[in-house]
Amino acid sequence: MENTDKNNLEQSDLNIPEHVALILDGNGRWAKKRGLPRTAGHKQGCVTVEQTVEDAARLGIKYLTVYGFSTENWKRSTEEVGALMQLFRYYLKRLLKIAKANNVRVKMIGDRTRFDRDIIQGIDTLERETKDNSGMTFVIAVNYGGRDEITRAVKKMMEDCREGKLEADSVTEQVVASYLDTAGIPDPDLLIRTSGEIRLSNYLLWQLAYSEIIVTDCLWPDFNKEELLKAIAQYNKRDRRFGGVK
């Protein structure tokens, strides 16, 4: 892209989506292209996450939700899962600094109970110490699966029914949403998936009902502010009808 185009893109009055959801995919392919182990791709991918949090916060995005590890990713080799857990440990600490420096509130969605105790503590600390930050909310989806989230929500609703805290007749879409991990967070306006795969891979199944979807061939470790702005520019051309007629 020409420099002038880039500047125009940055300075133009783009309508910035309130909530951007990301499926960061392609770390393995990025590493393979370079003859490196898959874990090298994950390492570089973490650097890109850090940079994207800063870029998104500066652009005025209010919520950024990033899919970091799915309930299905446990199927990968012990080595790869182990390396991802080590990176997660390390980045939990780094993220605390980045969140503080950028006034970012961090929240985790997914089932954290399956992680090692120190990781759970790291997540708790990160959420607790950033909860009063008033800038962007950065949501990390780890050990997250849309079906798992809905299943846990249904279980909790049934428990509440049994204890007399909830009645079947009072269940509305809003009530269901309040039982999901994303309670209180608006639905994503824009979903960006890197690396070309056109599927949801069990991401935010309830919440993405009316999100605009953009798939880019860019591999996640190569993603940057320019790519983010390109996706937002495409989003700006979409006609969101929500089932109505314009």
Q: Rounded to the nearest 5°, which phi and psi values hold at 179?
A: -95, -5
Residues 187-206 interacting with ligand IPE (rule: CB under 6 A)? 195, 197, 199, 201
Among 20, 25, 216, 221, binds Mg ion (CB under 5 A): 25
**What is the secondary structure of 11-71 as a DSSP string?**
HS-----SEEEEE---HHHHHHHTT--HHHHHHHHHHHHHHHHHHHHHHT-SEEEEEEEET
Compute the distance between CA of residue 152 and CA of residue 81 in angstroms, rounded to an integer.
23
The phi and psi torsions of 167 (rounded to 5 degrees) equal -120, 140
In this complex, which beta carbon is closest to ligand IPE, that of residue 68 or of residue 146?
Answer: 68
Binds ligand IPE (CB under 6 A): choice among 51, 73, 224, 236: 73
The binder of 235, among ligand IPE, Mg ion, none, by C-beta within 5 to 8 A per type, is none
| Least distance between ligand IPE and beta carbon 41 (Å) | 6
Q: How far is the CB of 68 from ligand IPE (least distance, A)?
A: 5
Selection from ligand IPE, Mg ion, none that 199 binds (CB < 5 to 8 A by kind) is: ligand IPE
Out of 8, 73, 133, 169, pick the active-site residue: 73
Tokens of 13: 């009055």
SS3 117: helix
> Which entry of ligand IPE, Mg ion, none binds 216, CB below 5 to 8 A by partner kind?
none
Q: Whose CA is closest to 194, among 210, 213, 180, 178?
A: 213
Segment near ligand IPE (CB under 6 A), from 13-21, 22-30, 47-55, 238-246? 22-30
- Positions in 199-218 near Mg ion (CB under 5 A): none
* Residue 41 identity: G
Q: Which does 67 bind (CB under 5 to 8 A by kind): ligand IPE, Mg ion, none?
A: ligand IPE
Rounded CA-CA distance 113/138 in Å is 20
Out of 20, 21, 23, 232, the residue judged to bind ligand IPE by CB under 6 A:
23
Phi then psi for 162, rounded to 5 degrees? -60, -35
Judged by DSSP in three states, 133 sits in coil
Number of residues interacting with ligand IPE: please give it, by CB under 6 A.
Answer: 17
Residues engaged in binding ligand IPE (CB under 6 A):
23-29, 67-70, 73, 84, 195, 197, 199, 201
